[in-house]
């Protein structure tokens, strides 16, 4: 504790006064504005932001340069809740869990309240992350050095154990979905052996399927499809006016201050562990809130404000925590932080002991940058949230054609290949089917993110430690916690006498919707059989996961078909909590009409894809927008043309001219290469 002496306090104070000088503060504010803008665009994450800003920092003052970069990175997770809450479209992987309660609040007319709660909890979470960063830097070295691959493996197993908490009243369905996600994550080249796994000789699949198009397909497209099916505004009844809703959201966050602190601390700790991304942090925080908050299991996913407070506090705190290993050891938490690390080295700063001695002023300027960026970012979002909330009352024919091209641009950032766009549509169909038939989607994404890490850490742990990796103290604690969380639903069922109440139904209750089981079990069997000819290290993971999928799916299907619990909801899909955003108006619309409107919705996306493949991205945007508005909503030619022009200009200027994102190639590019070169 000698580190916290007068010299340290002097360095922290000097860093603050240096940062508050106008010429540096203006760059911090500029970075915050850029970060907020990037957060609004689905799929355009911090990597794009760093790539955009870093070239401008090489000739800048180091304090101003890192203030701008950290200002941008710190607030992306503040504004990415806006599309998540308003439309159910996760701005980034770190805002998936916010959709579960944020979107139902918007549908109730509480968009301003949900957004305000998100901003407030993000602000406090970011400050918690900055505080933990400030105090942990001198103390973290022994902790970080003690973390090896066995501890990382145990932590990923604990993360996957949250599947049971995120599966609602159907834990076996959650296991099936999680295993399916893990198997999808295993597609590509096995790192340990070089074995090609389920690539079908396609170059696109050799590096694995990117996360971004899958997330947008599983979470965004189903919510937009539901909007097209209902053919109404997202929020039909506005309960709070903007100002009232904003005040209510602030009060909600203050009232749940202990939850904010817990999830903020959890996010900061997880952020300090390399490899644990925002896509994992928000689900773990959400699962923690679900398990610990009073009455959460009855109200979460129906519009409980605590369901948006928990993940947002954790996400913003993670940004501060992730700087700990980077500044102390030069270990970046991801590709975006690797760029930040490169910028530091260009300026002549080498992460390590020097950052805690010679360059202590700069280190604490980074701490202050994170803290001030969260304050500025939350303040700007508060100023605009009332206007953002009004978007939820617009007609669906004004919302869908605007979001459609942005989702395509976001999905294309996965690997900047046409394969990303096909994956988007396939994942969208799977996600909508799961949503309609009440299969929880969060376990699938959690399995997809953590499955690859789990297999990698398991291979290294067994090669390095054999079976002794399980005897390490931290590993044992995490594995015990994982087992308790995973089997918690079974323990509760046994304590309540639920097993005794289950009895054979005496008849076979097979329905058309059970074909979803056949799909997942069939995928599991195919992957199980085809993997047996591979090298040992390449087939162990797929064999175990596919076997679990087949077993869990078969047991769940057999139970659903042959067994009926004495009470509705005693163990399966008959009732209880469904850990996902539920479909609405199920009783009001006949299934045939629902299916017809869903096919029509996906038909527009296919039409967009075909047109983009023929004439290119920019000509397709106004064409599809005008066609959609005229055909679906009978909107006036004037309004359709004005909106089409504005959206096309926005996409061209922002994505093409500012961020310099390439478009998907088209036949027009081959026919008129000069035009394609001019557009690029």
Residue 370: is its pLDDT beyond 90?
Answer: no
**Distance separating alpha carbons of residues 589 and 200, to the nearest angstrom:** 41
Share of the chain above pLDDT 70, in %: 81
**Distance separating alpha carbons of residues 402 and 221, to the nearest angstrom:** 13
Q: Structural domain boundaries of the chain?
A: 6-232+243-565, 608-679
Token output for 449: 């993110």
Helix (H) or strand (E) holding 104: helix 96-107
Cα distances from 674 to residues 204, 545, 649, in angstroms, run 27, 50, 21
> Averaged over 365-377, what is the pLDDT?
84
Residue 665: is its pLDDT beyond 80?
Answer: yes
- Average pLDDT along the chain: 80
Please, is 408 exposed, middle or buried when counting C-beta atoms within 10 Å of its C-beta (0-12, 13-18, 19+)?
A: buried
Helix (H) or strand (E) holding 464: helix 442-465
Helix (H) or strand (E) holding 556: helix 536-562
**Distance separating alpha carbons of residues 112 and 95, to the nearest angstrom:** 17
Q: Check: CB of residue 160 under 8 Å from CB of residue 450.
A: yes
Residue 485: is its pLDDT beyond 90?
Answer: no
Q: What is the pLDDT of residue 572?
A: 44
Q: Model's pTM, two decimal places?
A: 0.78
Q: What is the pLDDT of residue 56?
A: 76
Residue 575: is its pLDDT beyond 70?
Answer: no
Integer-rounded Cα Rg, in Å, for the chain is: 25
**Distance separating alpha carbons of residues 154 and 158, to the nearest angstrom:** 6
> Averaged over 231-241, what is the pLDDT?
63
**For residues 662 and 275, which has the higher predicted lDDT (pLDDT)?**
662
**For residues 42 and 264, which has the higher predicted lDDT (pLDDT)?**
264
**For residues 75 and 252, which has the higher predicted lDDT (pLDDT)?**
252
Helix (H) or strand (E) holding 387: helix 360-390
How distant is the alpha carbon of residue 533 from its chain centre? 35
Q: What is the pLDDT of residue 522?
A: 93
Residue 238: is its pLDDT beyond 70?
Answer: no
**Nearest C-alpha neighbor of 358 from the set 370, 350, 346, 347:** 350
Strand 196-197 with 188-189, pairing = antiparallel
């Amino acid at each position: 504790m000698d580190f916290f002496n007068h010299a340290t306090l002097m360095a922290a104070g000097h860093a603050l006064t240096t940062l508050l000088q106008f010429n540096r503060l203006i760059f911090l504010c500029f970075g915050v504005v850029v970060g907020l803008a990037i957060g609004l665009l689905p799929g355009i994450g911090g990597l794009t932001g760093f790539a955009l800003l870093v070239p401008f920092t090489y000739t800048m003052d180091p304090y101003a340069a890192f203030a701008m970069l950290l200002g941008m990175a710190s607030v992306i997770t503040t504004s990415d809740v806006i599309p998540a809450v308003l439309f159910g479209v996760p701005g980034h992987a770190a805002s998936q869990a916010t959709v579960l309660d944020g979107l139902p609040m918007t549908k109730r007319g509480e968009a301003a309240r949900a957004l305000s709660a998100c901003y407030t909890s993000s602000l406090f979470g970011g400050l918690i992350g900055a505080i933990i960063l400030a105090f942990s830097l001198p103390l973290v070295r022994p902790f970080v050095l003690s973390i090896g691959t066995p501890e990382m493996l145990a932590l990923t197993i604990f993360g996957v154990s949250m599947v049971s908490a995120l599966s609602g009243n159907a834990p076996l369905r959650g296991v099936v979905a999680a295993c399916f996600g893990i198997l999808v994550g295993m597609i590509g080249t096995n790192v340990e052996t070089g074995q090609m796994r389920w690539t079908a000789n396609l170059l696109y699949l050799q590096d694995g399927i990117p996360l971004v198009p899958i997330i947008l397909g599983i979470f965004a497209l189903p919510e937009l499809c539901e909007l097209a099916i209902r053919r109404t505004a997202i929020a039909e009844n506005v309960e709070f006016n903007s100002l009232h809703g904003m005040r209510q959201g602030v009060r909600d966050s203050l009232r749940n201050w202990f939850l904010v602190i817990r999830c903020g601390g959890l996010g900061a700790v997880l952020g300090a562990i390399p490899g644990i991304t925002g896509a994992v942090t928000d689900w773990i925080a959400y699962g923690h809130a679900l398990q610990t908050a009073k009455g959460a299991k009855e109200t979460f996913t129906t519009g409980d404000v605590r369901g948006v407070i928990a993940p947002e506090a954790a996400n913003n705190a993670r940004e501060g925590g992730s700087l700990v290993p980077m500044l102390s050891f030069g270990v970046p938490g991801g590709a975006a932080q690797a760029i930040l690390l490169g910028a530091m080295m260009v300026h002549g700063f080498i992460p390590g002991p020097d950052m805690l001695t010679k360059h202590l002023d700069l280190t604490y300027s980074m701490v202050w940058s994170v803290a001030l960026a969260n304050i500025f970012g939350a303040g700007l979002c508060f100023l605009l949230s009332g206007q953002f909330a009004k978007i939820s009352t617009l007609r669906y024919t004004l919302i869908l054609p605007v979001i459609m091209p942005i989702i395509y641009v976001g999905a294309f950032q996965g690997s900047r290949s046409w394969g990303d766009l096909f994956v988007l549509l396939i994942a969208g169909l799977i996600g909508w089917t799961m949503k309609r038939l009440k299969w929880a989607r969060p376990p699938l994404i959690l399995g997809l993110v953590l499955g690859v890490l789990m297999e990698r850490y398991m291979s290294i742990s067994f090669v390095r430690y054999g079976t002794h990796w399980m005897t390490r103290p931290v590993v044992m604690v995490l594995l015990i916690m994982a087992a308790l969380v995973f089997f918690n639903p079974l323990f509760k069922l046994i304590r309540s006498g639920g097993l005794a109440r289950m009895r054979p139904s005496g008849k076979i209750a097979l329905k058309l919707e059970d074909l979803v089981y056949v799909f997942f079990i069939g995928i599991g069997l195919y992957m199980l059989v085809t993997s047996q000819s591979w090298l040992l290290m390449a087939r162990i993971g797929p064999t175990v996961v596919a076997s679990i999928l087949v077993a869990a799916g078969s047991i769940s299907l057999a139970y659903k078909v042959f067994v009926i619990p004495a009470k509705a909801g005693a163990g399966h899909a008959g009732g209880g909590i469904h850990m996902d955003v539920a479909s609405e108006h199920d009783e009001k619309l006949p299934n045939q009409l629902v299916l017809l409107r869903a096919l029509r919705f996906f038909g527009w996306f296919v039409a967009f894809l075909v047109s983009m493949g023929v004439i290119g991205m920019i000509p397709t945007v106004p064409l599809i927008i005008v066609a959609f508005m005229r055909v679906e909503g009978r909107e006036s030619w004037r309004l359709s043309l004005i909106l089409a022009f504005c959206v096309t200009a926005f996409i061209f200027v922002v994505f093409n001219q500012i961020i310099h994102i390439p478009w998907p190639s088209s036949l027009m590019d081959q026919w008129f290469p000069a035009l394609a070169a001019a557009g690029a």
